[in-house]
Amino acid sequence: MEENVENFILDKFVEKKDILESSDLHKFYNNLKKYWDNKDTTSANCTDKKDLKICYLGKTLENIVSDWNSICSLSDKNNDKCCCYLTYWLYGEIAKISPSYFRINDIYNMADKFFKKINCPSSTNEICTKNYVKIFNTKVLENKKVLYDFAEYYDDLQNLLSEENSDKKDKNCEYIKNFFQLYRIMQLHQHLKLTENYCLEIKHFKDKFKDDVLSQLEEACPGKGIKSLFNADIVTEHPSGEQFKNTIEKVVKPLTNKAEIEKSILKDLPSNTIYEEFNKTGDLDDYKEGCKKTFKPENGKDKDDITDFCEKFTRNMKKKVYITENDGKNQQNGCSYFTHWTYQNILKIFTTLDNTKKYTVIEELNKIMHKINTSDLEGRPCSFYFDGTPSQWEEEKYLHDYFKNHESIKAKYNSNVSEKKMFCEYLSYIYKLYEKYIWKCCTYFYRGNSWNLCPKHFECDRKYNPFKLLSTLKCENEIISESEENAYDTLMIDREVVLKSQIIPCNSLICDPFYKFAMVPLAFLGLSSVFFLFYKVNISIV
């Protein structure tokens, strides 16, 4: 559905329609064009001259803020509404540039300074107060802007539905239908909790298309099913939401040289030794009948890929192979290897199965794991979920192995500089995964500690940042910037509190030196009075 929407680029459509030129939103966006600066990089907010598009955006924001009162007065809107328009304009510009997560963080840091100067967003308008959310997925930003803009334009757009030319009217109806399809997709993403960042745009859209407006639109565009798209109930099938995740999460292209990189760089790393232990074919006889009964190999075969994996999976679970001699004190660490080994093997098996068979495999493996973990209580069990998507499993395994092999990767590069190009390709891929996952896996504290929400595949310690290795290797086409360190500030949940507490002016008695000195004799006099009273009481008793 989203592909259809993308064929109708709202801004270009608006430019072709004279009837929309009087729209407040169009006038606002059009007015901002003259402030766009793609030459000057002298702005104090331009910290990295290699990322010129962000420099130009920073300078443009600076220009807009310097003439804000004039810009806002031209649109005949109050400051709240202008702030709303500026926020969606910014979202659109970020989506066009499509920078990395770290660079998006730089843009938001710039915007914070500028927005504060013009009192944006203010606290009087709900949608304009809450709509400025720091979102790092450019697809989500694009969807938010498109749906908001469409609802704002609609009062003028509906005049196009009175076209006498039936072909033109039909095309306009199809155009409008596409945005109701986008609304439907955003509603579904919200319902499946794939993102919580569409609620305001959905509410704005619903408020615009209340009963009368929707009925008029349905009447003007009969047979398009627009009202049905708006009113249809959300119904989802198992597994909930998994098939939609790739439309929300930022997609990282897989390694183009995967086989060669795994063979030459990753093959001899320590993690592979552990995976080889899981793959051993010995001691499987006790599990053959159980797996054969559970998965029933097709065509009368004694064994197939599923039963073969089932035997190894059951053996490794029962014998707790994931607890190695060298790692016995940290069973959870071994469990993370076992988890990713399991995912990797399931992905290989899934290439030949239909969806029904896939669900059966997952269900039966869950039963095996649950039975072993609840019946064998000796040692710590290894439990995990078979949720997520194939691409997510693969990305998490690459990250997991990178962190586990971090020191070995550095040592291997130092002894084999001839494979620099391959190392750079591998580390560039890891870097893209790192910037994708750090935002949802790590929370940092000002005093240096961190909180890891994804311990099975991520490390929050800054020393593991692949950017450091990329810099050391001096890989080509890599943007070197200080913004990586700045991004950690954004992930600190207590940074503002700590910094503000350090600058709060001291207004208590002990902050004034006079009172510090005065309190000493006062305390002495107070104690003397107490002792005198005790002395008087004792005399009276005697």
CA atoms within 13 A on the CB side of 88: 26
In which residue are the tokens 């807009």 written? 64
Amino acid present at 291? C
In which residue are the tokens 């407040």 written? 24
Classify each residue of 242-256 as buried b or exposed e, where b means 16 or more C-beta atoms within 10 Å of its C-beta.
eebeebbbbebeebe
CA distances for 260 relative to 61, 381, 419, 520, angstroms: 45, 35, 11, 77
Sign of CA dihedral 389, 390, 391, 392: positive
Q: In the prediction, which pLDDT does 524 show?
A: 65
In which residue are the tokens 């961190």 written? 450
Cβ neighbors of 127 (< 8 A, separation 6 or more) are: 84, 200, 203, 204
In which residue are the tokens 């499946």 written? 192
At residue 426, the 3 state secondary structure works out as helix
In which residue are the tokens 């990305």 written? 395
Helix-helix angle 305-318:270-279, to 10 degrees: 110
Helix, strand, coil percent content, the chain, rounded in steps of 5: 70, 0, 30
pLDDT-flagged residues of the chain (< 70): 1-19, 37-50, 75-76, 121-131, 192-196, 232-250, 299-303, 324-332, 377-380, 414-418, 446-448, 476-524, 530-542
- The count of other CB atoms within 10 Å of the CB of residue 320 is 20
Alpha helix (H) residue ranges in 234-330: 258-261, 270-279, 285-295, 305-318
How far is Cα 393 from Cα 307, in angstroms, rounded to an integer? 21
Query: Which own/partner pairs from 479-482 qualify as long-range (CB within 8 Å, at least 24 positions apart)?
Result: 479/48, 479/50, 479/51, 480/50, 481/47, 481/48, 481/50, 481/51, 481/102, 482/47, 482/48
CA of residue 196 relative to chain centroid, distance: 11
DSSP string of 17-51, one letter each residue: -GGGTT-HHHHHHHHHGGG--SS----TT---TT-
How far is Cα 179 from Cα 157, in angstroms, rounded to an integer? 12
Which is nearest to 49 in space by CA: 504, 479, 489, 487? 479
Tell me how far apart the 2 most distant CA atoms of the chain are, in Å.
118
Q: In the prediction, which pLDDT does 472 show?
A: 81
CA distances for 456 relative to 60, 250, 258, 519, angstroms: 43, 21, 23, 56
How far is Cα 222 from Cα 218, in angstroms, rounded to an integer? 6
pTM: 0.59
At residue 230, the 3 state secondary structure works out as helix
How far is Cα 110 from Cα 53, in angstroms, rounded to an integer? 14
Evaluate whether 88 touches 148 at the Cβ level (below 8 Å): yes
CA distances for 6 relative to 3, 13, 226, 251, angstroms: 5, 12, 18, 17
Evaluate whether 151 touches 205 at the Cβ level (below 8 Å): yes
Q: In the prediction, which pLDDT does 43 show?
A: 58
CA distances for 178 relative to 142, 171, 172, angstroms: 15, 11, 10
Which is nearest to 177 in space by CA: 234, 228, 215, 216? 228
**β pairing state of 450-452 and 442-444:** antiparallel
Structure tokens at 509: 């008695």
How far is Cα 420 from Cα 366, in angstroms, rounded to an integer? 42
Q: In the prediction, which pLDDT does 494 show?
A: 46
Structure tokens at 441: 């896996």
How far is Cα 286 from Cα 386, in angstroms, rounded to an integer? 25
Angle at 357 between CA 353 and CA 359, to 5 degrees: 120
How far is Cα 372 from Cα 347, in angstroms, rounded to an integer? 23
pLDDT digits (tens, 9 = 90+) for 93-128: 999 888 887 788 888 888 988 988 988 866 555 555
Evaluate whether 105 touches 122 at the Cβ level (below 8 Å): no
pLDDT digits (tens, 9 = 90+) for 286-319: 999 999 889 887 765 656 889 999 999 999 988 8
Evaluate whether 396 touches 384 at the Cβ level (below 8 Å): no
CA atoms within 13 A on the CB side of 132: 25
Evaluate whether 427 touches 261 at the Cβ level (below 8 Å): no
How far is Cα 457 from Cα 439, in angstroms, rounded to an integer? 14
How far is Cα 446 from Cα 224, in angstroms, rounded to an integer? 55
